[in-house]
Structure 1
């Protein structure tokens, strides 16, 4: 049987509290799970209308940041303004042959490509 969906993507973070503040405060994600876990805390966040969550994992200290997580937003100018208000460096929005996009990283170096939805 083929895989039917992606449930969770593990994103390495050094500090789960700082990551939680960034993803919920800056990106307006919601907390999906926040439970004790043998290696710390099972903490997932996601955009409010997304089926796929990000696992903010601090128990992989050697895991390199993820580059190129592709997400969508309906208004890149509004996202750019919000990122700027929070002091988050970003590139764009820019018009590319494949569409409009904006680039940024979370505080731990995980890179995002945001496409205009």
Structure 2
């Protein structure tokens, strides 16, 4: 094994999710194509990162909004928190010290929760 390349994020509306991840979070669009019976592969990622996300609608066992436990590291969490809040990203609360660093948890339009973390603080 080498690395985790793609994590599936369950969403109800791929266009709305794509807009959120690109316009609000600042991710890049890596790939977008159709496959199967009118299904779409939409892959987004943090610029320069090795791991990306695919915005999925086709896993019955992964209902929209069920993602938990995804952690994205930040160099300056306070700066990211302020910038994302100004862009309308909803957080569960301000950054707080937790075991493993300082964390702030954001919610995408479907309620998927993503933790931003600054390690070593």
- Cα shift readout 1:31-88 (whole Å, capped 9, x = no counterpart): 1110111141111000002111101012235523111101111221222222322332
Matches of 2:22 and 2:45, distance apart in 1: 9
Q: How does 1:12-91 map to 2 (within 5 A)?
A: 12-39=10-37, 40-60=39-59, 63-64=62-63, 65-90=66-91, 91=93
1:22: how far off? 0.5
Equivalent in the alignment of 2:113: 111
1:102 aligns with 104
TM-score by length of structure 2 reads 0.85
Superposition CA RMSD, Å: 1.6
For 1:84 and 1:61, the matched residues in 2 are separated by 32
Distance in 2 separating the partners of 1:51 and 1:8? 9
Matched position secondary structure for 2:22: helix
**TM-score, length-scaled by structure 1:** 0.88
Structure 2: any 5+ residue segments left out of the alignment? none
Residue 4 of structure 1 corresponds to which residue in structure 2?
Answer: 2
Aligned pair count reads 115
- Give the unaligned 5+ runs of structure 1: none
